[in-house]
Amino acid sequence: MRTRKVVHNRAELQRYISAMNGKENITTTVYGFRELKPNKTRGEYVTAVVPHFVIDMDKNRAEDKLGMDPDEAGERCAKEAWEVSAMLLRDNIMHMVWFTGGGFHIWVILDQEYALPPKEMNDLMFSGRDMINRWVRDMDLITLDPVVSFRPDRHIRIPNSFNFKRGVWSIPLVLGNLSEGWKMIEAKAAEPSPGIQVMGSKGMVVPIVKRDPNNIFSKSFDGVEFNAEEVRVEMERVGNIPVLPCLAASACEKGSNPAHQPRTYLMMYLLDFFRRFARPPQSSDVSDADVVKHAHAFIRRLEWADYKPNVTQDMLNHGAGRYYQTPTCPTLYAAGLCVGRCPYYDGKGV
């Protein structure tokens, strides 16, 4: 994740995997893209091509949320992965499961390949996250990270690659393997097991909710069932401060390499937070120097893979001098970053 590489076709991807597999951890974006950003080093996220989505299940979440020891958390993760795969198989939904070393990835094939205009793409991404949130709630899926599945900027481990941190291989599994439990799967992953194991035969349909543009959490226009209460999310604490869930998910994963846009929005939020959201910002009794110092300390602790102190300091000084404020919900939603209605929802439409 220290550097990103753009590949333009399947052959380039295969050459990259063949050259790097077993030498370092290798990951990929969940989706491909029709266009690149101007610097040509990342995909333009609103141009994602979406033929599938990926469910990320991590045993660390059970350790953190339930206080389980690693072995117990692993068994919980395997059990939940079995439940999700069994649910999909009951509906004959085509999917594949890989052990990642720290959990499981479940690739789910959709009924069609979606290549939509930006507004419709954001509706698809949000609707998919709404669906995943329901699964998490209804099945009590502690180990499932609902943010990854419908986010075009997130990276996942490339299937059949070696996990250096865990010392095991990412291997394909079927439902019966999941029922054997974590320890058996981990032992199996000591050796590579190439290929894929396809379960089910039909693509999943994601009902796309087209919401009232004046209030994105109020109702839909097309009769698709939608309850704003079911997409409520709580503020997240990163370190010792509350962070908007959209920014926590897109820019605050420790050791990650987030895109420029969420970094900028996080900077705007941090400057506003450390000014105590004074309006106008110039009226804050906290000096620009102190605001920048606290914001930079927060960012430093995130340990971004490509963190550069001088670049970060320059950006913060520039933002503080311009008195940047927290971006609005329509701005965050239009960028595809919204993960649900949080306590800071500003009531504005798109």
Q: Shortest CA distance to 51 belongs to which of 31, 76, 37, 24?
A: 31
pTM over the 0.75 mark: yes
Tell me, letter by letter, the H, E, C secondary structure of 12-36: HHHHHHHHHCCCCCCEEECCEECCE
> Is the domain 10-208 a CATH 3.40.630.30 member?
no
Lowest-confidence segment of 3-7, 266-270, 327-331 by average pLDDT: 3-7
Mean pLDDT of 63-68: 91
Query: Burial level of 244, CB count in 10 A (0-12/13-18/19+)?
Result: buried
- How does pLDDT run across 81-133, given as a tens digit for each residue? 999 999 999 999 999 999 999 999 999 999 999 999 887 887 888 788 888 88
Domain boundaries, the chain: 10-208, 231-334
- pLDDT value at 239 more than 60: yes
Largest CA distance in the chain: 63
